[in-house]
């Protein structure tokens, strides 16, 4: 089993990265959430294979938590919230699909160049995972900046969290289980709060476009 | 251990506030009770450390040194004051049917959780717990920012939660980098993220990694403090929240986040072997954060936003003071105390004005002094306090800051003085307009209420108390014993001997 | 078996089976949609009929109009002769350098575009402009895909790429991306869903069909035959890259059994390929034209990912 996992590890890593890259030109809410779930499950499997390979027991709860919370609960929560709020499926963005895809690819290339300047490259557990984490976090930031509607910004934040989770994997920091539970619950609470807020925004403004949230300027 | 138990006990209060078993009228009283219990407990733990009778204690994941003792004492002071003012504020709003019972319960639950999270952050020793506390404050306060679910409030809440959560997530990256440096430096697994262990072994942490970690922590948690250009959420969030909570937000939450950055600075300086590199960050962001509000305050016509921009400016002053050099921590400590007292008093006063006239725009208000003289006088005194009139704590701290700055960074100090003058002009102009000149389109109070003299409310009592404390502290800090006190507190967080 | 024999076998087989492929796709699509559908060998009858008909050529055309069917047909036949469809190591396989192949494909497209423009009709011009957009956007993706295969296998000729074994190519998992990109490109080049609808009769939705609206009689037969050849070539190429099957190859001796097996295998590949194509066309919708840039950007990014991963991993 260890051998199979070792072979499949690059696959998990690539799926994790590609799901976040493919999320950029996606303009339907359900596809976006499915890609996020896919990316989270790939991350969970990646953590699991690291745990099996290095026999580090502390990674198992992290893998389980990622799989359960980020792969299942959060997408279900958001899909439910979107359905109940009656928001439109079509998402808004400042850039169209093709340019946003190219911007993401440019971001990936920039990350590759940047990695060499970081002092972690030598000491990180795996240079590939380090690259993945920074790339996915960067893609998340791009999504938050380029997209105009509340759901994409939420999903962008979630991709940033995924990238940070991968970063913790790369820098092999042992976080006690209690803190991990705390981090997962915080992410879950933050997402539920954002979902509640977007529901209220949809109720009040009739649209999920944040262009309507531009009143306070001074 | 018993600190953990105490925290768990404090967690019970929000639960009680939410359950329908407890009648709504009692929820407010319960809030005051809980705040008093918390205050009593924290003060008994903190004062011995503050007064130097007991050396700092490190109890596992909790950590009580003079700085955290000071911050914790300030937290519970503001918490107690807010609880008392909320009795008046929410009582009035409920009486006028502006809020429902359910909203009152929500308010109190979130207020208790907020104070609890701040206490956790201030007293924590483990970096993960600090992160958890900061993020928990963001989540608790988002509910409160969106309390009145009207247009501006939702926009403010959305910006707040998105920006602050992203910032704190970047802070988490910084924390992970510090942990990585610890791992590389050969620390034990269990000790990775404990502050006191990190301080002890700081020399074994790699400088390159610590530099990156500090940048991420500074930018990330700096978003929460409100440094320019990461401040865009602050004026909106602080102006749309109910005023007692704004007092807590402006008064103490910004300080808690700032002290967290200071702790990282301490570890980083020990790892880098000098304070100059980190001070550059504080200096630049501090100057920016003083200048921008200066310009905006000249044209600000909304008094709550005016107070929020003033908070940004004071955080900028704190950063500037720290950036001047290791000795700059002493005036920073004094400034923190003064700002907390003055800003919370100001927001309580703003709450009174808002309750009466239901608008925050200066253009719609009559001359407050003629209709509500007590509020007006207290508000004016607090404004004078925050503008560092002699006699207020802020005067003592700014005097020391400028004195130190002229010797070390002359140009930066002059720029900051320019910013401070702009702020003073702007705030005085608008305050005098608010208090003494009515706007042409002012909403008049109906004559029936007009003839009644303004009652002396709980808010006035709290404001007067805070102003008295402000004055007392102002005198205290100018005395040698006050200076020694501030130095002792600053020493606990600094990496070099003062 | 001598290389020349291999070329002849391949040419006869593929040139003969091309219209059957188109018929099979239509038949499968009809069956999947619950219709009875015309018999799979109907295109043969159609081509035969078209060859006997009289041509009507507009007076506002030039010599280009008459040249186009010949060029397009010639490119199709050329591709059949050089690419490793049924056999590898055939006589002309040295010409299957991927840049030449890409160039020949582009040549066919360009002449078709010119033919559409030449008759000065509105729909022809519209189809030509659309086809040119798609062709120019698909070029970088084609190069990226074949470059990835070239890097992985060490050969620049497609013949060489396939010769190192389909499965061996896929040992480099990054080539999975290139394969997916090749599928997307194939759909674009052959004017299939989601890029174009080959069965539409509404001119405003046409891309490829609009360019050939003015052709009739033998010319139309040639153009239709050329597009059938293209489809067959792409299907067989995709099959050969994906599935490691046997080919007829040069140094081996003539073995009737093996040869027959390869011939049957080719037919099965075509069968499976047309079924999958029909399934795809039944499941998805045609995209609006302005979304072509998204689709083709996606193909390019996937192809680029395959290339970069092959280069650096």
Structural domain contains residue A120? yes
Say if CB A5 and CB A49 are below 8 A apart. Answer: yes
pLDDT tens column, C204-230: 888 899 999 999 999 999 999 999 999
Give just the sign of the alpha carbon dihedral A107, A113, A115, A117.
negative
List CB contacts (< 8 A) between C313 and chain A.
10
pLDDT of residue B466: 85
Give the C-alpha separation, B93 to B104, whole Å. 10
Residues A167, B173: C-beta atoms closer than 8 Å: yes
Structural domain contains residue A214? no
Structural domain contains residue A170? yes
Flag whether residue A207 sits within 8 Å of chain B, measured between CB atoms: no
Q: For residue A119, is pLDDT > 80?
A: no
- Of the partner residues A161, A176, A193, the one whose CB lies closest to the CB of residue B142: A193
Structural domain contains residue A217? no
The whole-chain average pLDDT of chain C stands at 88
Residues B128, A194: C-beta atoms closer than 8 Å: no
Q: Which residue of B has its CA nearest to A149?
A: B158
Q: Which residue of A has its CA nearest to B293?
A: A218
pLDDT of residue A146: 87
User: Per-domain residue ranges for chain C?
Assistant: 3-312
Residues 130-149 of chain A whose Cβ lies under 8 A from any Cβ of chain B: 137, 141, 144
Residues A171, B180: C-beta atoms closer than 8 Å: yes
Structural domain contains residue A139? yes
Q: How far is A46 from chain B (nearest CA, A)?
A: 19
List CB contacts (< 8 A) between A174 and chain B.
179, 183, 189-190, 192
Chains A and C are in contact, defined as 3 or more C-beta pairs closer than 8 angstroms: yes
pLDDT of residue B447: 47
Q: Which residue of A has its CA nearest to C304?
A: A105
What is the mean pLDDT of the segment spanning A74-95?
80
- Of the partner residues A18, A22, A98, the one whose CB lies closest to the CB of residue C293: A98
Mutate to test the interface with A, among C293, C301, C309 (most CBs of A within 10 A): C301
Q: How far is C133 from chain A (nearest CA, A)?
A: 15
Residues C294, A21: C-beta atoms closer than 8 Å: no
pLDDT of residue C168: 61
Structural domain contains residue A134? yes
- Across-strand partners of B14? none
Asked if the peptide bond before residue B154 counts as cis, ω within 30 degrees of 0, the response is: no
Share above pLDDT 90 across residues of chain C, in percent, rounded to a whole number? 55
pLDDT of residue C248: 63
Mutate to test the interface with A, among B162, B191, B194 (most CBs of A within 10 A): B162
Number of domain units in chain A: 1
**Crossing angle for the helix pair B151-184 and B254-272, nearest 10 degrees?**
20
Distances (CA, A) of A84 to A195, A202, C20: 11, 10, 51
Ranges A84-88, B158-162, B407-411, C293-297: which has the least confidence: A84-88
Give just the sign of the alpha carbon dihedral C286, C287, C288, C290.
negative
pLDDT tens column, C2-14: 788 888 888 999 9
Give the domain extent around A147. 2-209
Distances (CA, A) of B58 to B73, B74, B187, B195, C124: 17, 20, 19, 10, 83
Flag whether residue A25 sits within 8 Å of chain C, measured between CB atoms: yes
Structural domain contains residue A215? no
What is the mean pLDDT of the segment spanning A37-65?
86
What is the mean pLDDT of the segment spanning C184-194?
92
Of B155, B419, B183, the C-alpha closest to B313 is B419
The whole-chain average pLDDT of chain A stands at 83
Of B281, B260, B135, the C-alpha closest to B215 is B281
Tokens 């990156």 locate to B212
Residues 367-406 of chain B whose Cβ lies under 8 A from any Cβ of chain A: none
Question: What are A61's two structure tokens?
Answer: 């709860």
- Across-strand partners of A90? A28
Say if CB B286 and CB B411 are below 8 A apart. Answer: no
Residues 6+ apart with CB under 8 A from C263: C13, C86
pLDDT of residue C160: 80
ipTM: 0.90
List CB contacts (< 8 A) between B149 and chain A.
200, 204
- Across-strand partners of A184? none
What is the mean pLDDT of the segment spanning A144-173?
87
Q: For residue A159, is pLDDT > 90?
A: yes
pLDDT in tens, chain B (498 residues): 556 666 766 676 677 666 666 677 777 777 787 778 777 777 777 777 777 666 666 666 777 788 888 888 889 889 888 888 888 888 888 888 777 878 888 888 888 888 888 888 888 888 888 898 999 999 999 989 888 877 688 888 988 999 999 999 999 988 888 888 887 777 766 667 788 788 778 778 888 888 888 999 999 999 999 898 888 899 989 988 989 999 999 989 999 999 999 988 888 888 888 788 888 889 999 999 999 998 988 888 888 999 999 999 999 999 999 988 888 888 898 999 999 999 999 999 898 888 888 888 887 787 778 788 888 888 888 888 888 888 788 888 888 888 888 888 888 888 888 888 988 988 888 888 888 876 655 555 554 445 556 777 788 888 888 888 888 888 888 888 788 888 888 887 776 666
| Environment class of A118 (CB within 10 Å of its CB; exposed 0-12, middle 13-18, buried 19+) | middle
Residues A101, C291: C-beta atoms closer than 8 Å: no
Mutate to test the interface with B, among A176, A216, A217 (most CBs of B within 10 A): A216
Residues 6+ apart with CB under 8 A from C110: C135
Give the C-alpha separation, A118 to B215, whole Å. 13
């Amino acid at each position: 089993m260890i051998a199979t996992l070792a072979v499949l590890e690059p696959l998990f890593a690539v799926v994790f990265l590609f799901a976040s890259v493919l999320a950029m030109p996606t303009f339907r809410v359900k596809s976006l959430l499915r890609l996020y779930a896919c990316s989270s499950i790939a991350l969970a499997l990646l953590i699991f294979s690291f745990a099996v390979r290095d026999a580090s027991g502390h990674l198992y709860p992290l893998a389980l938590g990622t799989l359960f919370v980020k792969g299942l609960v959060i997408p279900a929560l958001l899909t439910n919230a979107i359905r109940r709020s009656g928001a439109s499926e079509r998402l808004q963005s400042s850039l169209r699909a093709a340019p946003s895809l190219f911007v993401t690819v440019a971001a990936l290339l920039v990350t590759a160049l940047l990695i060499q300047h970081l002092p972690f490259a030598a000491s990180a557990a795996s240079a590939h995972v380090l690259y993945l984490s920074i790339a996915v976090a960067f893609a998340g930031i791009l999504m938050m900046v380029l997209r105009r509607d509340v759901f994409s910004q939420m999903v962008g934040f979630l991709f940033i969290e995924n990238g940070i989770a991968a970063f913790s994997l790369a820098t092999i920091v042992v976080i006690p289980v209690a803190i991990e539970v705390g981090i997962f619950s915080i992410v879950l609470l933050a997402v539920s709060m954002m979902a509640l807020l977007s529901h209220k925004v949809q109720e009040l403004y009739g649209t999920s476009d944040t262009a309507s949230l531009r009143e306070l300027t001074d | 251990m018993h600190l953990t138990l105490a925290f768990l006990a404090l967690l019970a209060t929000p639960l009680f506030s939410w359950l329908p078993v407890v009648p709504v009228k009692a929820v407010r009283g319960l809030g005051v009770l809980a705040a008093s219990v918390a205050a009593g407990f924290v003060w008994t733990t903190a004062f011995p450390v503050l007064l130097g009778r007991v050396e700092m204690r490190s109890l596992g994941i909790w950590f009580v040194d003079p700085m955290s003792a000071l911050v914790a004492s300030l937290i519970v002071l503001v918490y107690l004051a807010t609880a008392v003012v909320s009795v008046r504020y929410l009582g009035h709003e409920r009486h006028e049917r502006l809020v429902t019972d359910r909203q009152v319960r929500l308010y109190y639950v979130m207020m208790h959780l907020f104070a609890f999270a701040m206490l956790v952050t201030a007293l924590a020793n483990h970096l993960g717990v600090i992160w958890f506390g900061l993020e928990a404050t963001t989540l608790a306060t988002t509910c409160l920012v969106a309390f009145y679910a009207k247009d501006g409030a939702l926009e403010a809440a959305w910006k707040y939660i998105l920006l602050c959560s992203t910032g704190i997530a970047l802070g988490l990256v910084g924390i992970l980098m510090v942990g990585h440096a610890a791992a590389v430096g050969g620390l034990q697994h269990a000790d990775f993220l404990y502050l006191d262990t990190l301080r002890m072994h700081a020399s074994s942490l790699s400088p390159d990694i610590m530099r990156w970690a500090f940048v991420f922590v500074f930018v990330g948690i700096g978003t929460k403090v409100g440094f320019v250009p990461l401040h865009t959420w602050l004026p909106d969030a602080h102006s749309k929240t109910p005023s007692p909570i704004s007092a807590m937000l402006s008064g103490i939450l910004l300080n808690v986040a700032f002290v967290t950055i200071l702790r990282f600075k301490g570890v980083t300086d020990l790892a880098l072997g000098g304070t100059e590199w980190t001070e550059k960050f504080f200096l630049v962001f501090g100057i920016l954060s003083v200048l921008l509000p200066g310009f905006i305050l000249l044209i600000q016509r909304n008094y709550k936003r005016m107070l929020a921009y003033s908070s940004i400016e004071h955080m900028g002053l704190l950063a500037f003071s720290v950036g001047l050099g290791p000795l700059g921590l002493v005036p920073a400590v004094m400034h923190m105390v003064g700002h907390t007292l003055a800003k919370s008093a100001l927001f309580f006063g703003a709450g009174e004005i808002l309750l009466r006239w239901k608008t925050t725009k200066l253009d719609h208000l009559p001359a407050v002094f003629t209709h509500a003289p007590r509020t007006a006088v207290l508000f004016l005194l607090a404004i004078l306090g925050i503008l560092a009139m002699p006699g207020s704590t802020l005067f003592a701290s700014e005097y020391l800051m400028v004195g130190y700055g002229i010797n070390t960074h002359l140009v930066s100090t002059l720029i900051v003085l320019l910013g401070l003058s702009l702020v003073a002009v702007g705030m005085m102009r608008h305050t005098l307009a608010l208090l003494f000149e009515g706007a042409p389109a002012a909403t008049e109070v109906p004559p029936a209420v007009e003839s009644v003299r303004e009652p002396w409310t709980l808010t006035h009592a709290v404001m007067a108390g805070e102003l008295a404390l402000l004055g007392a502290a102002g005198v205290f800090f100018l005395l040698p014993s006050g200076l020694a006190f501030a130095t002792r507190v600053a020493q606990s967080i600094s990496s070099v001997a003062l | 078996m001598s290389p020349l024999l291999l070329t002849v076998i391949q040419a006869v087989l593929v040139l003969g089976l091309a219209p059957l492929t188109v018929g099979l796709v239509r038949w499968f699509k009809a069956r999947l949609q619950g219709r009875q559908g015309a018999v799979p060998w109907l295109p043969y009858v159609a081509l035969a009929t078209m060859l006997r008909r009289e041509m009507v050529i507009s007076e506002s055309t030039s010599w280009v109009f008459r040249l186009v069917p010949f060029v397009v047909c010639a490119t199709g036949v050329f591709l059949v002769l050089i690419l490793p469809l049924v056999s590898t190591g055939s006589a002309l396989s040295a010409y299957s350098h991927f840049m030449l192949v890409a160039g020949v494909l582009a040549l066919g497209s360009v002449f078709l575009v010119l033919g559409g423009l030449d008759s000065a009709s509105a729909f022809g011009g519209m189809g030509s402009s659309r086809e040119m957009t798609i062709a120019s956007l698909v070029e970088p993706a084609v190069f990226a895909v074949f470059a990835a295969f070239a890097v992985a296998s060490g050969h620049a000729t497609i013949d060489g790429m396939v010769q190192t074994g389909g499965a061996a190519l896929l040992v480099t998992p990054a080539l999975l991306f290139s394969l997916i990109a090749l599928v997307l490109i194939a759909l674009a080049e052959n004017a299939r869903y989601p890029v174009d609808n080959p069965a539409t009769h509404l001119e405003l939705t046409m891309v490829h069909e609009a360019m050939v609206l003015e052709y009739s009689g033998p010319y139309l037969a040639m153009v239709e035959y050329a597009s059938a050849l293209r489809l067959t070539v792409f299907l067989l190429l995709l099959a050969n890259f994906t599935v490691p099957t046997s080919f007829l190859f040069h140094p081996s001796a003539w073995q009737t059994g093996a040869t027959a097996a390869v011939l049957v295998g080719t037919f099965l590949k075509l069968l499976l390929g047309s079924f999958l194509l029909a399934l795809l066309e039944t499941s998805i919708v045609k995209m609006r034209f302005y979304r072509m840039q998204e689709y083709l950007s996606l193909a390019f990014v996937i192809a680029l990912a395959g290339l970069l991963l092959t280069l650096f991993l």
